[in-house]
Every structure is written in C-alpha cells, then in structure tokens.
Amino acid sequence: MDQFTTNLIFVVGSFLLYIGIAIWARAGSTSEFYAAGRGVNPIVNGAATAADWMSAASFISMAGLIAFVGYGNSTYLMGWTGGYVLLALLLAPYLRKFGRFTVPDFIGDRFYSRTARLVAVASLLIMSITYVIGQMTGAGVAFSRFLEVDATTGLMIASGVVFVYAVLGGMKGITYTQLAQYVVLIIAYTIPAVFISMQLTGNAIPQLGLFSTHTESGLPLLAKLDQVLQELGFQDYTGHHGSTLNMVLFTMSLMIGTAGLPHVIIRFFTVPKVSDARKSAGWALVFIALLYTVAPAVGAMARLNIITTIYPEGTEATSISYEARPDWMHNWEQTGLLKFEDLNGDGRIQYYNAANEEFAAVAESRGWAGNEMVTFNQDILVLANPEIAQLPGWVIGLIAAGGLAAALSTAAGLLLAISSAISHDLIKSTFKPNISEKGELLAARISMAGAIVVATWLGLNPPGFAAQTVALAFGLAASSLFPAIMMGIFYKRMNSTGAIVGMLVGLVSTCLYIFTYLGWFFIPETNMLPNTPDNWLFGISPLSFGAVGALLNFIAAYITMRVTKPTPERIQHLVESIRVPRGAGVAVDH
C-alpha cells in the first residue's frame, strides 16, 4: 500500500468518526447546543477540554518554534500551562456556579449592563477570529502534504468537515467529537516521539530521552545539539539569547490570555455541578501534560535529525548532494513549505547561519555562498518528523490524522464561541429577547455556518506561523476579557462603567500596538512601522503586549470605578454568592 493511500485511510477514517459522533449526539435544544445539556462526565470533559485547548499551535507549531529557537521559546510551554492552572483554580469553578452559557453572558449580568455585554462580544469575536486563523493555517499545512492537495483545497475540506459536525451537534456533538480527537492527537504525537527517542538515545520515554545520552556520539543529547548548532554558526540551543523583559511579558500574556479564552471557559459550563468543574479541570491538566512534556523532546530531536540528515558525516564534512536528498525533503518541497537554492552551484545543500559574521570566514573557506535552505516553514516540523526519522508509513498516516484533529478540535470550539456570542448574546439577549428556543437554535446554526465561511477566507491568508497567530489572540484575550472576569468574580465593588472602560482601554491599546508593528502581516500594502525591536515601544514585542494591555485594563477600570456610581447592593450580594465554596448551586440574581 502506498503512502498516499495510507494517509487517506487514516484521515478519512477519522473524519467519518467525527461526523458519526455528531449525528449520534445531535443537539436538540439551545441548552444542548451551548452547554451539552450540562451533563458531561468530568473525565470526558477533561479530555475534550484538552483537545479544545491543544490546538494546531500546540500540535503542529509549538515544537517547531522550540526546535528553531530553543530555550527562548519555552515561554510557550510555561505560559500556556501556567495559564491553564490559573483558569482551573481561579475562574472555572466560579463561572460554572454563576450558571450562564457564555462569557459575555457572565459579563453582561455581572456588570448589569447591555453595553458591557456588547463590548465583551466584540472582544470575543476579535480574539476568536484571530485564533481560528491559526487552526485553518494548520489544517491547510497538513492537507497540502498528506493528501497531496493545495492549501486552498485542504481548507475547503477541513471547513466542510467542521461544518457538518459543529453545526449539527453544537456543544454536545463537539464535546464527544473532541474526546475522539484527543485520543487521535495524543497517540499521533506520542508514537513518533517514542520511535525517535529510541533511535537517538535508546530511551523509549521521550521526556527522559531529552536528558539522556546521544547513542552515536556518547554525549548528552542536548550537548550534542548545542555542539552541531555552534559548529554551523547558530546560537546554542540551551542558552537564553533574547530580551528577559519580553520573555517575562510574553509568558504573562500567554498565561492570562489562556485564562481568558472564551472557547475554553465555556467547556466548564457543560458539567453538572461546580465540583465537577474542578475535577474536569484537573483531568484536563493531566491530559494536556501528556503532550506538553513531550514537545521539548520532539523539538530538540527533530532539529538534530535535520542537521545530521544534511551532514551525515558531521558538520565539518561534505553535505549531501541535492540529487541525493532524502525523500522527506522532496515530498515537502512539493508543498512549497520547504525550498532549497544552490547558491554556489556545487550541487550540494549547505545549511548554516549565514547572518553570523564570525562564521562567515569559515563558510567562505568552505566555498559556501549562503544558507541554501531558503525556506523552512516551522509548522511542518512535527508533521515531517516521522519521515525525517524514516518511520513506518502507518505512523505518517497517524500523524496526518493527529495534526488535523488538533486543528479541527480547537476550530470547532472557537466557532461555537463565536456562534454563541452572536445568537445568544446579540440576538437573544440584546436585539430580540422574545425569540423562541427553536428560532434561537436556528440562529445559532446559521451563525456557526457564517463563522466557518469567514474563518476559511481568513485562513487563506494567515498572518504568520500558526503558533504566532495564536499568540496574538492570547494577547487580545489577556488585555480585554481576563481582567473583566477576574474583577467580576473577586472584586464586588467593580461597577459596570469601570469594567466597560477597562475592556475598551485594554482591547484598543493592544489592537493598536499589534497593528502598528504587525500590520503588514494583515494588510501587506500599508506602510506600517517595521516590525523590529528598534521600533518597539520600550523594546516590548507586539506578541508580548497583551500583559501590558491587561495592566492598562485593570488601572483604567479601577480609576473609573472610583469616580462613578457604586455597584448596586444586589450585585454585590450576587458576587458574594458566586464565591461560596460549598455546594453546586447556581448563583441567582434576586
């Protein structure tokens, strides 16, 4: 059986599974569409939450970012996992106790304001649409290679599958689909890592293999990787070479952005009671850790494999000829995501850091005219890993299905959050409060379909690598929704005016900063400031500004609260009831 047929069996088989689950778990009411009838088992919800949260950025892009930057990009690991703990401990149980369907629903009722609800809806839509671009990008990358179609066709196929199971099943169908997707993606991620760890270190546990001895050289694996990188003029893998300020701010932005993600928060509305919300949060952390502790090993081992593929006899020896390049390089070149250019006409592939001035003399003495790996999309690394390590064809097919599962699971959750905000928070709660349940359910499905169309269109022109796009979304969530949710739960004196002003200040300041320096990503023909550290305000990266935006949100909200009307007594009592530690009852606004 050829590789294409194997890939097709795994991918189509997984798609049929998802659609079958959606038909079985079809939502028949708004409660089932928005919150799965609040009857999901905590363990099932934990796995579904893990799949919802571990997007294409986690599965496809994170290991690639770690591989090519090293220690500096461990911020993705620290920020995302730390943020999930923050969400699980501080927010999820209290939001479940409040008993609403959506995040704007909570903000609108807690801050007793239609305007607050609308601002929350705007924040949710901007953040979720930005986030879903990364998922569509990831799906396109996976399809373009494994089903041998162009990225546009791949996006259309992915959109069609999501359309069927998300529009039909709502939260109920998505929950059980995400359970299946978690099983697929964790197996797909772990099995290649086990094989590669065994090949390089003899240790079958990747987490331990990362700190084991490299079998061929007898050096510790990370020491071997540092050595070959430095011999080619690259920075060492284990050192920290960036701005400490940006590293801290970026980690904080990812943490509080995670805690403010609406599509993850609404997963905790699906369990029967508050104690189940806490249990499902704990299970989700276990399921997430299974992938996140493997990612650093995947990144390091893949980077070493790439170098030793090009320089099989060592970095000081002759590189491989272009004609003799391995099959995985040829396969990925067909997608346009990997490209070589013979700059010195010797028919061989030279891969090194051409920007390193100290290494330039060494490169010149070897007759090298520049780095000939002119394109290497970091999003392909995890997907290419099985081919790089020459693993069996079924492993390649499995990781194809896993990459698509990761992208589609989060895309479905985001699209549900967008749909719920439009149908429940705009139509039902704001513009047409007398709409029937049947009419609201129809509006939810139409909103979902519209969101899929918009997400597909935006996915055709993504603003960067999947993980970078997602990082922008986290910054927007950090600066707008997280402070409002935190103050809504833990500061009973925060009033509606303060919350509204705070959200607007955080959202607008972050959007302005991001579009000022990353605007050329979104609108190529505009003349934005160059995205370089020399132009950044106080040296703060646009990807790190979410933490600053959150701080501005808190400050603006507090100052406004001090000079405006106090929060009504009934709302203060409502907030106190949310924080009652015992029982599973829903807070009621009398």
104-129 pLDDT, tens digit per residue, is: 989 999 999 999 999 999 988 888 88
- Does residue 65 form part of some domain? yes
43-57, 88-102, 509-523: lowest mean pLDDT where? Answer: 509-523
Q: Report yes or no on 353 lying in a domain.
A: no
Task: Give pLDDT, residue 580.
Answer: 66
11/485: higher pLDDT: 485
Could you report the per-residue pLDDT of 209-253, keeping only the tens digit for each? 999 999 999 999 999 999 999 999 998 888 877 778 888 898 999
Residue 90 near residue 259 (C-beta atoms within 8 A): yes
List, for residues 355-405, the tens digit of each pLDDT value.
888 888 888 888 898 899 888 888 788 888 888 878 888 888 888 888 778
Q: Does the residue 96 lie in any domain? A: yes
pLDDT digits (tens, 9 = 90+) for 190-215: 988 999 999 999 999 999 999 999 99
Task: Identify the band that residue 586 occupies on the pLDDT scale cut at 50, 70 and 90.
Answer: very low
CATH number, position 260: 1.20.1730.10
3-class secondary structure, 321: strand
Is the pLDDT at 282 greater than 70, yes or no?
A: yes
Residue 178 pairs in a beta bridge with none
- Amino acid 469: pLDDT: 64
DSSP sequence for 226-239: HHHHHHTTPPPSSS
Token pair for residue 125?
Answer: 């839509």
Q: Are 455 and 411 in contact (CB under 8 A)?
A: yes
Q: How confident is the model at residue 520 (pLDDT cuts 50, 70, 90)?
A: very low
State both tokens at 156. 């259309």
**What CA–CA distance (Å, rounded) separates 6 from 265?**
37
Residue 236 lies in a domain: yes
* E strands, 320-363, in order: 338-340
Boundaries of domain holding 485: 27-301+388-578
- For 155-178, the pLDDT digits (tens) are 788 788 777 777 777 778 788 888
Beta bridge partners of 339: 375
Establish if 585 belongs to a structural domain.
no
- Evaluate whether 35 touches 266 at the Cβ level (below 8 Å): yes
- C-alpha to C-alpha distance for 238 and 210, rounded to whole angstroms: 12
Within-domain flag for 70: yes
> Is residue 464 in some structural domain?
yes
Query: For the residues 574-582, what does the mean pLDDT come to?
Result: 74
Report how many domains make up the chain: 1
Average pLDDT score, the chain: 83
pLDDT of residue 119: 93
Res 32 pLDDT > 60: yes
Q: Residue 511 falls within a domain, yes or no? A: yes
What does pTM read for this prediction?
0.81
